[in-house]
Chain A
Amino acid sequence: MSRERSLRWCGPLLLSALCATGCRQDMHDQPKGEPMEASAFFADGRVARPLVEGVVARGELDLDPHLSTGKVGGKHVETFPFAIDAAALERGRERYGIFCAPCHDAAGLGEGMIVQRGMKRPPSLHIERLRAAPVGYYFDVISNGFGAMYDYADRIRVEDRWKIIAYVRALQLSQNATLGDAPADERARLEAQ
């Protein structure tokens, strides 16, 4: 009798145990889409959706072509769209190190690690032509690529691109400074060397 009663409980217990483990997996992998997950719903198999033609993301309305294209009236701009301070330059240095130095190297001579491993050698950023190039030209190169160099538009924010350019300008100054550029007290020390 008692044996029979305990057996009667076995079925439901087993069933609820199975249910519990089943639910567990449901909650582990919910039907929502995580970033970059595969999707069975969309034809291209991706959860990430491309923007519909003509959509402008919030806060990204292009009001200032100077800032967002580096061109005004079809010509490359000569000036930065915002004031460059020490913090901006520091940010530019950091971003340059991440995104440009692998090929252009830390000093901009074009002998980075990837070039040593077989990448096409970029020109030095210190050649006359590039020193004379307007800042808008650099913006164009970063945003749209140039020859063998792919564009970085999807990975570097617009503001950061300008900060990188500011840092490139600083590099160009540093590599081409004359004695006359040093402050008076430093100049005396340098001349003594």
Chain B
Amino acid sequence: MAQVFHPSTNTLSKVSIFGGVFFVLGALWLVDELNRSPYVTQAGVVRAQPVAFGHKHHVAGLGIDCRYCHTSVEEAAFAGIPSTKTCMTCHSQIWTEAPMLEPVREAFRSDASIAWTRVHDLPDFAYFDHSIHLAKGVGCSTCHGPVDQMPLAWREHSLNMEWCIECHREPERFVRPPSEVFNMDYEPAQPQSELGPALVRELHIKGRTNCSACHR
């Protein structure tokens, strides 16, 4: 009986087995990259909001402190989103006719909530706490980027576990004096390679990498 397959198919089958491995690895790599891409993590993607509230206007333009609106950021896990009343402390007098602010006035009149679109949202199985980070000298801008320059808010970092761990392994690369955490234009006065380790010693900063720190 004649050979069904030509001898060259030997090579072909070897190549396809070999190629298959690469194909699988490549597919895995692609999935991994996709998971880190802004498409999945939403990093850098500007969110539409019910009111076009601009940090750029209010923080950089008017010099209002973060804590005027995000009141609980120093004391609690949750930073706090300002109530409608907080907006109205100024907007009962300023831009009272602006159609842009109609949803705010409407919510104030009817005691409804403004449904802001969340920009940062960790999965519910991960625990995060603002107060400890501020007390240990991690500034808003380290995690949230140049908020004071954002016309509409976006997320600066992926918020992947990888990102948290990168800092928890080596906090000395990122920490600043706790008095500077609200400073959006912070530049270290001395090289970070000297300042960082000194702060870690002074504030007794521990690198938290045990799973139960964040998955409790």
Chain A residues within CB distance 8 Å of chain B = 27-30, 32, 34-36, 38, 45-46, 97-99, 102, 113-114, 117-120, 148-150, 154-155
Which of B19-27, B45-53, B64-72, B134-142 lies at the interface? B64-72
Cβ 8 A contact of B90, one of A27, A114, A155: A114
Assembly CA distance A97 to B81 (angstroms): 20
* Closest Cβ–Cβ distance, residue B57 to chain A (whole Å): 10
Determine whether B39 belongs to the interface, using a CB cutoff of 8 Å to chain A: no
Q: B94 near A114 (CB under 8 angstroms)?
A: yes
Bound: A47/B67 CA distance, A: 23
Q: Contacts A99-B68, A102-B63, A114-B62 given: A148-B92 contact, CB under 8 Å?
A: yes
Which residues of chain A are within 8 angstroms of B85 by Cβ–Cβ distance? 150, 154
Docked-complex contact B94 and A119, CB < 8 angstroms: yes
Contacts A113-B62, A154-B83 hold; do A32 and B124 have CB atoms under 8 A apart? yes
Main SS of the interface on chain B?
A: loop
Shortest beta-carbon distance from A188 to chain B in Å: 35
Residues of B within 8 A of A149 (CB): 89
> With A and B bound together, what is the CA distance between A138 and B80 in angstroms?
26
Q: Report the bound CA distance from A32 to B81 in whole Å.
A: 19
Q: DSSP majority for the A interface? A: loop
Contact with A along B121-136 (1 / 0, CB 8 A): 0011100000000000
Chain B residue numbers with a CB within 8 Å of A155 are 68, 71, 86
Which B-chain residue is minimally distant from A36 (CB atoms)?
B81
- CB pair B88 A98 closer than 8 Å: no
Q: In whole angstroms, how far apart are the Cα atoms of A64 and B80 in the complex?
A: 29
Please give the distance in Å from A45's CB to the nearest CB on chain B. Answer: 7
Residues of A near B92 (CB, < 8 A) are 148, 150
Instruction: Assess whether B63 is in contact with A38, with CB atoms less than 8 Å apart.
Output: no
- B95 cross-chain contacts in A, Cβ below 8 A: 118
- Evaluate whether A28 and B125 lie within 8 angstroms (CB atoms) in the complex, with A99-B68, A119-B90 already known: yes
B83 adjacent to A118 (CB under 8 Å): no
Question: Of all chain B residues, which has the CB nearest A32?
Answer: B124
A28 touching B123, Cβ below 8 Å: yes
In the complex, chain B residues 65-105 whose Cβ is within 8 Å of any chain A Cβ: 65, 67-68, 71, 78, 80-81, 83, 85-86, 88-90, 92-95
In the bound complex, do residue B63 and residue A45 qualify as a contact, i.e. CB atoms below 8 Å apart?
no
Contacts of B213 in A (CB 8 A): none
B88→A27 contact, CB < 8 A:
no
Q: Please give 18 more A-B residue pairs, beta carbons under 8 A apart, in addition to A45-B113, A114-B62.
A: A27-B124, A27-B125, A32-B124, A35-B78, A38-B115, A97-B65, A98-B68, A99-B68, A102-B62, A102-B64, A117-B62, A117-B94, A118-B93, A148-B92, A150-B89, A150-B92, A155-B71, A155-B86
Which residue of chain B lies nearest to A102 when distances are taken between CB atoms in the complex? Answer: B64
Chain A residue contacts of B88, Cβ below 8 A: 150
B195 → A minimal CB distance (Å): 23
- A sample of 17 cross-chain residue pairs with beta-carbon separation below 8 angstroms, ordered by A number, consists of A27-B123, A27-B125, A35-B78, A36-B78, A36-B81, A45-B113, A98-B67, A98-B68, A102-B63, A114-B90, A114-B94, A119-B94, A148-B92, A150-B88, A150-B89, A155-B68, A155-B86
What CA separation (Å) do A30 and B86 show in the bound complex?
30
B123: which A residues are within 8 A, CB to CB? Answer: 27-29
Pick the contact of A30 from B113, B115, B124 — CB < 8 Å? B124
